[in-house]
Amino acid sequence: MKCIVSTGKKKWDNDIILTRFKYNQIKNDKSIVFNSNSIEKTYYNKIFSEGKKCLSNYYKKFNDSGYFKQNVLHVEYKFNIKIGKYTFIGFIDRIDQDKDGIIHIIDYKTSSKPHTQSKLKKDLQLYIYEMAIRKSKEFQDLNGVVLSLFFLKSNTYLSCKHNDEELLKLENKILNNIELISKDKDFNGRESILCDWCFFWSQCDYKSIDNPTTKLNRNEFFNKNS
């Protein structure tokens, strides 16, 4: 996903749209496709290949004959909101606005298995993103919010909308989840794909070694293999 965010920022930052940006110009640019602070050598080719695939699918979705024509308002939009008595701070990958004034929240995903439409509607992360927009003074006159997940590896793009009843149910669900977590005294680990981004394997009961993807930083890797 870092390669997509980097490419997006090159095009959309500071409200300046670079109208022509060819995929062939950047697909072998390691500073874009391979944008990790550290990585184990044996994983490099796999990650670099996956990065190019994700970038290619991004271009297939948003690039029309060499031009990006979407009205992109923000990339990596930072928010700080209250839901109930709890504060949520985060970043939204991308926010577009179409010609009808509808806001499109786009979240890039690098997982291999896309959501179902039902799971998409119940996604609490997207609910938080939607509330960040609805509570923002910048978006007071919006004509609706469309939530989208773009699964870059499979080139799957899913979208949904929430009605008021669905928003209320999601709010209650997230507040109930927080209350349950706050009352729980035991925090048992659970391995998942998120472990790959963790720097604390040495302190984890479920891991017997350090994370191999954090052993060598990028500069060291390129110096050793130049």
Over the stretch 98-157, which tens digit does the pLDDT of each residue have? 999 999 999 999 888 889 999 999 999 999 999 999 999 999 888 999 999 999 999 999
- H or E stretch covering 174: helix 164-183
Which of 19-23, 105-109, 193-197 has maximum average pLDDT?
105-109
Q: Is the Cα dihedral 197, 203, 207, 210 positive or negative?
A: positive
Question: 10 Å Cβ neighbour count for 205?
Answer: 7
List of domains in the chain: 15-61+187-223 (no CATH), 70-183 (3.90.320.10)
Q: Which of 14, 48, 1 is nearest to 29 (CA)?
A: 48
pLDDT of 3 > 60? The answer is: no
> 44 and 221 in contact (C-beta within 8 Å)?
yes
Q: Which of 223, 197, 192 is nearest to 37 (CA)?
A: 197
Phi, psi of 6 (to 5 degrees): -60, -45
Rounded CA gap, 219 and 37, in Å?
8
pLDDT the model gives residue 154 = 93
- H or E stretch covering 25: helix 23-26
